[in-house]
A and B are shown apart, each in its own frame.
Chain A
Amino acid sequence: MTNLASIKAGTGGGFHPASAPDYLPDAQLRDLQTQRLKRIVKQAYDNVALYRRRMEELNVTPDDIHSIDDVVKLPFTNKSDLRDNYPFGLFAAPMNEIVRVHASSGTTGKPTVVAYTREDIDVWSNSMVRAFACYGMHSGDIIQNAYGYGLFTGGLGAHYGGEALGATVIPISGGNTDRQIMIMKDFSVTAICCTPSYFLHVLERAQEMGVDIHDLPLRAGVFGAEPWTESMRDRIEAMSGIKAYDIYGLSEIIGPGVGAECQAQDGLHLFEDHFYPEIVNPETGEPCQPGEEGELVLTTLSKMAMPMLRYRTHDITCIYPETCSCGRGIRRIRRIGRRSDDMFIIRGVNVFPSQVETALLAVEETMPHYQIILDREKGLDRMEVQVEVTADVFSDKVRALEGLQNKLAKSLEHTLGIHANVRLVEPHTIERSQGKARRVIDRREM
């Protein structure tokens, strides 16, 4: 049995074989990327009508791909392409080879569906192993996986990765904070996977329960599925004595495990032998200069069930030109602070302003003017929806207006799956620019 001090220090582990590609010499990495790009472009072109049509429009065939640099010849893919081809239109493998599907958390309209062959699941698990290894985790770790299990990729992604690492996985899923704390303590958990804001909530609850995380073997947090900041990391680390690590991923590409911080905690390494990154100008789609900030575009080099060619993530970041002190050769991106579209992430849930609009209109068809204010209080994201009062809904009775507020809040919670405060405001007070209101004000410090 290892003692607490050595567990806390994260020693006792070692190099995991899955991490080998992290350290490939540049030329070898490029060879691998080229080889894989050729294969995946052929897979996409031969099996997906959309890709074939788009490539034909650009006069490109799989034969035009000679090196990884030729990725720029390929057409972009957008989230709307997934929606337009719902549910299975972008699958490149026959159903008898597809062993799993996941879907986005979108609760209105159609979700976006993604698929995996057995080989894809292995690629995914492997990437998660490499992420865990980046954090210094290893066989013998006890992982409390508090990401949600289900259609969301977070739960199962971390679960398979943890098992493949050789760790012990506790599939506790999200929620029931008191039980989370009890299990963390009683099962000698060494690492936890959840959203950073949920972990802050866990910490606050633990304090109330008289549990000091410093006294537990817990040493690493795998935090993702929502944007967070350095100051939040500082808070978490000071309150708990653990190391708080960022993880990057998106279901369209594979799920969590596209990129991960290493123990240097300075940018996220992308597992670029599977997920090839480009940074482009979000307006023009033109490639950015090395080190320049832009939109991250990813091409899946290995995923057979549903290849993604030059997928526009809408995540704004840059690729660090320098190599990392940890010795990994794979490149790093700056942690994601903002997005180029109007979608925002709150407490791990993707929200589009259009969903908010739908929820408001479901209650009262005559309240078209609203604004979403995002804030962070004590590390927890809060969402307030301000709605302009109209003569149709206005009443001289306080009770009636409070009733309206409650109905709107309920409708929002029902549609989005998260709680939002509703504030009624005077007409014409919500800022309009060029006739169109600015829908989202994000005051969270990024």
Chain B
Amino acid sequence: MKLKQLSLFLENRPGQLVQAAQALKEAGVNILTLSLADTEQFGILRLIVSDWEKGKRALEAHQCVVNAADVAALEVSDRPGGLAEILGIIEECGINIEYMYAFTFGRDGKAILIFRFEEVDEAIAKLQARNVNVIGSVELFELSGGR
């Protein structure tokens, strides 16, 4: 049920994102969501794409440094308190969050969040035991409208 996320190293200077976006465009790989972490000196672009292997190859061909990591997509209620609820469950399960970000789309009053856990398999098992809906890649791709 885990997903592959691609990460890219970016220097903090103008025009850096364009190259990566261009590479994915040429390969016909769609970006489902993304998040950018930046520090004073560098940035890390994190992407969930329609075909991560193809995306990784395309980015590497453009001389990008790419890392593929396992993340979990969790469904949460799209209402006030929805985030607090899932974070409460995660905390009760004793799971550490490295970082998280959101999808732009959801369904039936539900939103989808991406979580990077240290031990993703263990975390998914614990969360499923608490009836949290963990979304797989196929489902996610359909949700995004099959783009």
Contact = CB atoms under 8 A, between A and B. Distances in A.
A372 interface: no
A427 to B, nearest CB: 6
B11 A427 contact: no
A286 B45 CA distance: 56
B7 interface: yes
**Most chain A Cβ neighbours within 10 Å, of B11, B69, B116:** B11
A239 B28 CA distance: 62
A425 interface: yes
A331 B66 CA distance: 60
Contact of B42 (A396, A401, A428): A401
A395 B67 contact: yes
A389 B65 contact: yes
B65 A398 contact: no
B5 interface: yes
Contact of B9 (A405, A423, A426): A426
A: contact size bracket:
10 to 19
B39 interface: yes
Contacts of A405: 41
Nearest to A388: B65
A426 B44 contact: no
Interface string A141-183: 0000000000000000000000000000000000000000000
Interface string A390-405: 1100111110011001
A435 to B, nearest CB: 17
B98 interface: yes
A405 B42 CA distance: 11
Nearest to B6: A396
Interface string B1-43: 0000101011100001000000000000000000001010110
Contact of B7 (A396, A425, A427): A396
A289 interface: no
Given A402-B39, A426-B10, A396 B65 contact: no
A427 B65 contact: yes
A426 B44 CA distance: 11
A323 interface: no
Interface in A394-446: 394-398, 401-402, 405, 423-429
A396 B44 contact: yes
A426 B63 CA distance: 9
Contacts of B66: 391, 394
A162 B98 CA distance: 61
B68 to A, nearest CB: 9
B10 A396 contact: no
Given A398-B37, A398-B39, A428 B67 contact: no
Given A396-B116, A397-B98, A428 B7 contact: no
A405 B41 CA distance: 10
Given A396-B46, A398-B37, A426 B11 contact: yes
Nearest to B71: A396
A424 B42 contact: yes
Nearest to A401: B42
B63 A428 contact: yes
A386 to B, nearest CB: 9
A401 B45 CA distance: 13
B11 A425 contact: yes
A389 B5 CA distance: 19
Contacts of B41: 405, 423-424
A390 B65 contact: yes
Given A396-B7, A424-B41, A424-B42, 12 more contacts: A389-B65, A391-B60, A391-B67, A396-B69, A397-B44, A397-B99, A397-B116, A398-B37, A401-B9, A401-B42, A425-B42, A426-B11
8 contacts: A390-B65, A394-B9, A397-B116, A424-B11, A424-B42, A426-B65, A427-B64, A428-B63
